[in-house]
Amino acid sequence: MERVYGEMESQCSTDKGDGTVAGFGRGVELVDIKKLSAEERHVLIEKLIKNIEKDNLQLLHKTRKRLDRVGVKLPTVEVRYRNLSVEAECDVVHGKPLPTLWNCLLSVLCYPAVRLFGFKTHRAKISIINNVSGIIKPGRMNLLLGPPGCGKTSLLKALSANLNGSLKVSGEVSYNGYKLEEFVPQKTSAYISQDDLHIPELTVRETLDFSARCQGLGNRQELMMEVSRREKEARIVPDPDIDAYMKVLCFQTLDTADSWT
């Protein structure tokens, strides 16, 4: 973290030795973001987001504007699925097409025992998803609606490569043109079930903080360094509040993640 911070600091400014920084012709106060107190962080956030409904969106727009100004694009993923079908096989009794509790119990038993009692079984195919195609564009929120049992969960698991191995899957799923077998999809996407597992000793804030720390930094370090490098080359002075906010997000996550590990 010290090395990354030093590189970013040297790219953005030049220390004059008197507590200020010469930043492309004007002096600004030098603040070590790694040593910001909780009160100072609170003041920074309050300055940027006074009104949650309005200022939060404005903050995102300013951050995006800074990236666009130097031509830095955030990584995106486009998911495509074509002719996707999911089928299941089950052992049925007396020609019943759907798996019942009795059929599931019989499927656990060995076949000689089933034949001993005179039950005739055969395997039937159940179509869960039938030949669907679509594109999930990056930067858009998608809402999946349907009645219970229509295959919503199966579709999400198929797209995130989390289906049970006993299911038969046909069709093609790709991320930015790469098929699921060409990379590790679990590093790019995840299926989050409806079962919330919480640690009772943690508050809601601590739970969210813990989840954020477990996710890690991702590419924030490289992204921030690239933005700073391009701004220096173009002699662009960033908004000091936005600059401090983005750096705090980067280094605070890195620093706090070490305390949990």
Q: What is the pLDDT of residue 83?
A: 95
Confidence (pLDDT) at 122: 66
As a whole number of angstroms, the distance between CA 61 and CA 63 comes to: 5
Position 121 scores a pLDDT of: 59
Q: Which residues pair with residue 81 across a beta bridge?
A: 134, 173
Q: Check residue 174 and give its pLDDT.
A: 95
pLDDT at residue 131, as a whole number: 93
Give the per-residue pLDDT at 4.
Answer: 44
Q: For position 261, what pLDDT does the model report?
A: 40
CA dihedral 57, 60, 65, 67 (to 10 degrees): -170
Alpha carbon separation from 102 to 62, 107, 109, 120, 257 (Å, rounded): 60, 9, 11, 13, 49
Q: What is the pLDDT of residue 182?
A: 92
Walk along the chain (261 residues) and give the pLDDT tens digit of each residue: 444 444 444 544 444 444 434 444 445 566 665 666 777 766 766 766 666 666 777 888 888 899 999 998 888 899 999 999 999 887 665 555 555 666 566 666 555 555 565 556 567 788 899 999 999 999 888 999 999 888 999 999 999 999 988 899 999 999 999 999 999 988 888 888 877 777 888 888 888 878 777 766 667 778 888 898 999 999 998 888 888 878 877 765 444 444 444
pTM above 0.75, yes or no: no
The confidence score (pLDDT) of residue 259 equals 43
Rounded Cα gap, residues 79 and 138, in angstroms = 8
pLDDT value of residue 85: 94
CA distances (Å), origin 192, targets 8, 79, 116, 157, 209 = 35, 17, 44, 9, 18
Residues with Cβ < 8 Å from 81, sequence gap 6 or more? 132, 133, 134, 158, 159, 171, 172, 173, 174
